[in-house]
Structures are given as C-alpha cells and as structure tokens.
Amino acid sequence: MRGLSSYEVASIYESQGKKNATLRATAKHIRVDSMKPFQAFPHLFCALCALCGSFPAIAGESSRPNVLIIIADQWRAKNFGYAGDPNVKTPHLDAFERESARFVNAVSNIPVCTPTRASILTGQRALTHGLFMNDAPLAPEAVTIAKVLGKAGYDTGYIGKWHVDGHGRSSFIPPERRQGFDYWKVLECTHDYNHSFYFADGPEKQQWEGYDAVAQTRDAQDYVRGHAKGNKPFVLFLAWGPPHDPYQTAPSKYRDMYDPAKLVLPPNVPASIAAQVRSRMAGYDAHCTALDQCFGDLRQTCKDAGIEENTVIAFTADHGDLLGSHGAYNKQQPFDESVCVPLLMHWPAKWGRTGRHLMGTINTEDLMPTILGLCDVRIPPSVQGVNLAAYLAGGKDPTDSASLILCPAPFGQWNRLLGGREYRAVRTNRYTYARDLKGPWLLFDNERDPYQMENLIGQAEHAALQVRLNETLDRKLKETDDKFLPSKSYVEKWGYVLDRTGTIPYAN
C-alpha cells in the first residue's frame, strides 16, 4: 500500500475540517515532515480525521449554543411544585429546576404583557422603547435579540403570542415588523386557546389544532428536529398564551385533576372571595399542568435530537397573576404575585446538571444581554440591561440586589376606575418598597411576611428601613433617568390616544 502524499493528507484534513475555520487554516499550513508518521498507516489517519470531524467545532458558528426561550403568559413565580405550591402539579418543570440555574428574585419590570415582551426583545427599559402600555407598537427599526443573533449567524424563529406590533390583535404582521425573526407562526394576541389562529409567511389566516399551546409546542418540536443537524445554531422563541385567563379552558384531562374544594388558598386571599378564587385557581392550575407537559415534551425532543447538551433553555413568564391575593386579580400591581416571575436557565455543556439558586436580582431587560453574553455575541450599545452570563458561570453577582418596578400609566384591568395608580418600587432580596405620586405607599419584609400582609409604612420601628429603601429607590430612578412623572407626560411624549379608562384601544 503506497503512502499518502502530503497533498492528499492535507486534502483529507481540509475536508474533515471544512466547518471549522481553525482546522481549515491548519490544513493549509501542514508541513510534509509532519505527515510522515501517518504515511505508513493511511487508514488510521483517515479514521482519526473522521473521528475529529464528528465532534463539534471548537470555534465558530457550530460551537455556539442553540437558544430556546419559552415564555408563558401570566404564570406567577410561586405556582410550581419546586416553589412550594401545595396544589399545582408541575413534574417536568420541577425536574428541570433541579438541573438548572434558578433566579429566585426574577421580576417583571412593568408586570403586564406588551412592556415586558418589548423589553425581552430589545434589552431596553419601557420608558426607552416606549411600550409601557399594552397594544403599543414596537418600532420596526428597533435593535432586537433576533436581529443581533441573526447577524451573528443564527437561524431565528418565533411561535405563539407576540403582542408588540400594535396594529390590531388579529392582524397580519408583515416581515418588516417581525423584528428579525425568519421562521414565523404568530398571532399578535388571543386568549381563545381552543379556537386560536396564526399567520405564517403570508396573509392567509391559519388555525392551531385543538388547545393552541399543545399545537405550538408540536411545531417547536418539529423546528428543533429540523435544525438539529444543521450547520447553524438557532434561537427559537415559544410564547404560550396560558395560563392567562380565561381559566376554565385547558383540556379536560387537566381540569379533572383539580377539585376547587380541595385547594389550599394563600392566607392573603380574603375569605369573602374564597369560593371564586378556588374556582379560578383550579382552572389556572390546570393550564399550568398542561403547559408543564408541553415543556416536558419539548425538552425530551431536544434530548432525542442530540442538542440539549449545547442548548441554552430559558423558561420564564411575562408577569404573574394576583389570583385573589390582596383581594385583587390579574397584574400591574407591585405585589409579589404580580411582579415575581419564574426564570430557569439550563446549559449542561457549560454548567452541568446540578441545580443552583441564584439570589442576584434580574429584571426583564437583563435577559437579552445575558443571552448574547452566553452566545459570545457583542451586546449593542442600545441595550440597557445587565449581562449576567459570568454570574451564571460562577462569577460574582453584578447586580446591586435591587430591581426597579414601575407603572408609568395604569390602564386596562387596573385602570384608575379600578384603583390603578402610577408608582415606582424597588424589590430587593428581602424587601418591597413602593411609592406613588403622593408619597410612600407600601413596605413589606418579604422574609418575615412572605404573603405581604403587613404594610410597614409609617411604623416608627421601621422608620430607618423606610428611609434606606426610599434612598435606594431614588438611586435607581436616577440611574435609569426616570423622573417619575404623571402618566400624561409619557402618553403625550409617545403620542398615544387613550379611551376613557386610560387604555390604548385595540381591534380584535
């Protein structure tokens, strides 16, 4: 058997390393002398080349992680088995949490849909991108996570609820307003989960089969399978509409799992509305369990496709749900049930599979820069959030353990007619402090009073704490250039036209 020539050796090396710039450069500079040991054993050399070619590239596009971001609508941080909820069944997310980094103090900057989603996409605060109310439009020229990752070589996809287009909740969204996402099966907003429509590439309206979260998850599974063997990494958003109300619309097999009479209510639910809350909570929990199964199915697909190890999976929600706590429903208010959201992040290739609880505060605008940091992609100067990638890798907490929460303009389900008000608040690892335009409003010690039932404002023994937290809030407002003005100032600045309740009108 003749030995291979240096040209043949280099050609084989070049072929096996064609997906890796480092190997290509090496192949072009192979010295003849360095090949002599292999010329006597050509088949061994070819086997080694093939073996090397079967491993992921060391550098370049193929070494970057895939990114899978799953967003539920109105799923509060407390409503998981892993978080100690006595009622809800979430076995798949409980197992995921045991292998993930859990941000215990994750919050929604403005706990309502459109502002949060715009901040996730742009890494900006709401008073910068301007979407501080539902149904406002995100500028087509916005710098978004999909545009940035797309330029860095990623395939981009979005499935499910969008709610940042602002041109009607059932309108076709043309490509120029899709914010950099190429694969597209989206509707602006619907909560009719069993009669749910979407648009893909064209203006023809299509319908998800059955309960939309299941169908959307199946589509995400197909996307993962189709991209698992590709040459490019991907970023895929899956945005479910549930467990947002209406509560009684999950598939019957999940609703049958919850008997309202047997549910344990939080102590901050007034007795006068307990029966109503039990009924709503049973439906809410049914949605959550249905979504938990969807999550488990999608994660298993990632495993089966062989990509889970090098995929960053982030599970979160846009905001929580008061669900009767404090005698209130829905969101926008600064109580934990409204503000605190789940955030689980998982990347076995880098962090292993040992679960961790991270106490550093993370806000909505921090997700984009953190994902870009994990992908080793430059963070645009337009981004205002904090990159927590090094913290996730075991580094120091870069936050100051205080997150700013705000309501620039009350509207919709918490408009002024329903008691809504402008406020600014800080939530630290232990305390919540809120101020409205009249002055101090709420102060809770979340460690001693986890259900926020004792307002400490004005109590002499907590006066020093109130002063300290007020100073923290002032500092956060200064850092973010938030002058805490009446809502009229922001509405006029962005040119929004409101109805009599202070809400941007929309068409279904």
| Residues recognised as catalytic | 113, 163
d(CA 202, CA 447): 52
d(CA 446, CA 503): 32
d(CA 383, CA 35): 50
Residues in the chain: 508
Under a CB-based contact definition with an 8 Å cutoff, are residues 293 and 215 in contact?
Answer: no
347: left (phi over 0), alpha (psi -120 to 50) or beta: beta
Under a CB-based contact definition with an 8 Å cutoff, are residues 131 and 114 in contact?
Answer: yes
CA 404 to the chain's CA centroid: 18
Integer Rg of the chain from CA: 25
Query: Which pair of tokens denotes residue 446?
Result: 């979340």
d(CA 197, CA 205): 7
Tell me 306's DSSP state: T
Dmax (CA) of the chain: 94
Identify residue 89 by its one-letter amino acid code. K
Where is 158: in which H helix or E strand?
Answer: strand 155-161
* Strands of 9-165, DSSP E: 66-73, 101-103, 155-161
Under a CB-based contact definition with an 8 Å cutoff, are residues 365 and 123 in contact?
Answer: yes
**Residues whose CB is less than 8 angstroms from the CB of residue 32 and which lie 6 or more positions away in sequence, other chains included:** 6
DSSP 372-432: HHHTT-PPPTT--S---HHHHTT----S-SEEEEEESS--GGG-GGGT---EEEEEESSEE
